[in-house]
Each structure stands twice: as C-alpha cells, then as structure tokens.
Structure 1
Amino acid sequence: MHPAVTLVLGGAASGKSDFAESLAVHSGKARVYLATAQAYDAEMRHKIDRHIARRGAGWTTVEAPLDLAPALQGLTGQQVCLLDCATMWLSNQMMAETDIGTAQAGFLSALDACQAQVIVVTNEVGQGVVPDNALARQFREAQGRLNIALATLADRVVQVTAGLPLALKGKLQ
C-alpha cells in the first residue's frame, strides 16, 4: 500500500501552498517539489520565483507540466513530494489538447502506486459564478471531476480558506 496522499484544496491565494509546504517540511523526509507551472509571461515567472524564494533551500525541484507519472514513479518512501498544483497541470493538459480522461487516469494510477508521501495542491473552482464561455465551463467541470477523484484517492483532504485549514477527510496532523 502507498503512503499517505494528502489533498490540499482552496481558492486562489487562500494559503493552500503555504499549508502544503509546512506539511512537507514537518514530515522530516527529503522534500521533492513537483512543479506543474510554466512561465509563459512575466507575471507567471514572478509568481514562480516567489514560490521558490518562499520554499528556500532543502527542496529538489522536478518540472513536470504535463507528464506526472515518471516523476511520481521515481520517488521513494524516504521522500515527501509536494505536487503544486493539479489545477495548473489540468490547464496544461487542456492547452495541449490532450485527452483529459486518459491523462487523468494515468496521473491517478501513478499517484496511487507512488512510494512516497504525496501532498497535492489543487484549486476549488466550483464555488464562483458560472463562467461566460464554453472553454472556461469545460475547465471548471474537468477540475471538479479531478478534485473528486483526488479526494477519493486521498487519505486526508484539507480545505484552506483565508489561511485556515479545515480537515474534510482524515486529521489535520
């Protein structure tokens, strides 16, 4: 059986990445940051740089904007992996026009088989207004389905709002 999978979800700028990073640091294991973001513009480059600076030393970063399976398969039980974030990964998949169902199945299979403790960060996008265009509605629906699948697989699910974590499944600590 795989080690614990923790899903940390929340809205934009809710504090979910900070919380997830603290879980990884307090695990006492070698830390791997599985990065899904791509810097297509200066704003995103700045956000990525802020995340790197906030994490500080002691992390091994693996860039995996599309194919998470090889990175997850290469981890060991002596590591903790922070995957930040599933929402950006899904966005990358949609931009690449991949088959979302196939990509999601591969991701979930690799996550379930992973030997490391994994903390997955994701956005809750279904609590706002209905998007005004078809692509945004398609993304919202796909994100909701991905979050449901991740929550089903996870041993622990934590919702972060205004920097405050709330355990939805399992215990906070």
Structure 2
Amino acid sequence: MKHLITGGARSGKSRHAEQLALAHAGPVRYVATAERRAGDGAFAERIARHQQRRPAHWQLTEAGQALAPVLAGAAAGELLLVDCMGMWLMRFFGADGGFDQAGWQRQRDALLAALAATPASVLLVTNEIGWGVVPLGAETRVFVDELGWLNQALATVCQQVTLVACGQPLCLKGPA
C-alpha cells in the first residue's frame, strides 16, 4: 500500500503518519528528508520533536537528493515513513536560492518509478501547498509549483490519499 498524507503546516499530518506506522506489524523505517542547515535553531528543535516521538526500534535513514534508491531497496513487509516531500524538494535549492531543475526532474522521475515498483508499504508525508495566493518571489513560486505537481503525481501512484486538518484525517482516495 502506498499512502500519501497531506496537510498544512501544523495540521497533524506527521503525527497521523506516525500513528499509522505504529500499527504496522512489520519493521518500520523512518526516512528523514530534511537537510540540517547551520544556524537554524528553530528547525533543529522541530527535528528534535519529531525524533522524540519516534519509537527507538524504528530504523532511521537520512535521505539526500537520491530518495529513489531508498524505496527501491526496501523489502516486502517493511513500512517506510517518508517525512516530508517538501523538505526533500528543498534539497534541490542552493544557498543562493538557485534551483537545480535538471537534477530535480531526474530524481523526481526516479522516485515516482521506485514508488510504483517497491514491494514495501510507504507512507509519504507532504505539505498541501495550493490553497494560498501565487507567491511574489520567484524561488517561492518554483517551490509551490514543483511541490504541487509532485503531490499530484504522488497521488496518482498512491492507492490512498489522506488530507489532515486540525489533526483530523479526511480520506480523499482509497479505503477510509
């Protein structure tokens, strides 16, 4: 089962994914996609809160830009909780704000193929990005566009899609 879990900031989407993973009978691997950047104490605190909620027996994989090999190498019976797709997209933006379009497209296509082919169960956490106005800044526009298109492609591959708002899951696709 491939399950996309989306929602706004602080909607409870990661916590919902973690609750689903806790119910999994087999091994769970948490795939962290965020890049720790020096000097961002608030983001470091956010990562620490996520780490404190996870059971110690869950395996941890810190993914870089090449997320597809993680999914391709997963085994049947294993559950991968990938948190989150927006943080993964951020890995393709340089410190100067430049966007590696070619690298992103290559890795995005590889991820979608690996997701469709993996025998593992996968929970993908992402940000619902399309409910605001079109951003004025070019870098932010690229981020919003690319994440929105990625979310649509992931939703097509996934058998289940859940929107989380105010901590409450709403089934958009698949079994409730």
TM over 0.5: yes
1:28 Cα deviation after fit:
1.2
Q: How does 1:44-83 map to 2 (within 5 A)?
A: 44-83=43-82
CA contact (8 A) 1:34 1:83 kept: yes
| Other-structure match for 2:4 | 7
- Unaligned 5+ residue runs, structure 2? none
Q: Which residue of 2 aligns with 1:32?
A: 29
Check the 8 A contact 1:8/1:159 in 2, yes or no.
yes
Between the aligned residues of both structures, percent identity stands at 41
**What secondary structure, in the 3-state scheme, does the structure 2 residue paired with 1:160 have?**
strand
Q: Give the one of 136, 144, 147 matched to 1:143.
A: 147
Q: Do 1:6 and 1:157's aligned partners in 2 also have CA atoms closer than 8 Å?
A: yes
Q: Which runs of 4+ in 1 moved over 3 A?
A: none
* Post-superposition offset of 1:65: 2.6
| Higher mean C-alpha displacement, 80-89 vs 62-71 | 62-71
Q: 1:114 aligns with which of 109, 115, 118?
A: 118
TM-superposed deviation, 1:98: 4.6
Instruction: Give the Å deviation of 1:171.
Output: 1.6
- Alpha-carbon distance between aligned partners in 2 of 1:114 and 1:42, rounded to the nearest angstrom: 35
1:146, distance to aligned residue in structure 2 (A): 0.2
Question: Deviation at 1:39?
Answer: 1.5
1:89 CA displacement:
0.6
What amino acid maps onto 2:79 in structure 1?
V
Q: What is the alpha-carbon distance in structure 2 between the residues aligned to residue 132 and residue 59 of structure 1?
A: 41
- Which residue of 14, 19, 35 maps to 1:22? 19
* Cα separation, 1, equivalents of 2:78 and 2:134: 39
1:43 paired residue number: 42
Q: Distance in 1 between matches of 2:162 and 2:86?
A: 16
Assess if the C-alpha contact under 8 Å between 1:37 and 1:89 holds in 2: yes
> Tell me, which stretches of 5 or more residues in structure 1 are unaligned?
none
- 1:94, CA displacement in angstroms? 3.1
CA offset at residue 21 of structure 1?
A: 0.7
The count of residues paired between Structure 1 and Structure 2 equals 169
Does structure 2 conserve the Cα–Cα contact (< 8 Å) formed by 1:7 and 1:157?
Answer: yes
C-alpha contact (below 8 Å) 1:77/1:117 kept by paired residues? yes
Counterpart in the other structure of 1:131: 135
Q: 1:122, 1:147 within 8 Å by CA — same for their partners in 2?
A: yes
Task: Normalising by structure 2, report the TM-score.
Answer: 0.92
Aligned residues: CA RMSD: 1.2
Contact 1:33 1:59 in 2 (8 A): yes
Mapped contact 1:38–1:44 kept (Cα < 8 A)? no
Task: Kindly provide the amino acid, as one letter, of the partner of residue 31 in structure 2.
Answer: L
Task: Quote the offset at 1:70 in angstroms.
Answer: 1.7
> 2:162: which partner in 1?
158
TM-score, normalized by length of structure 1? 0.93
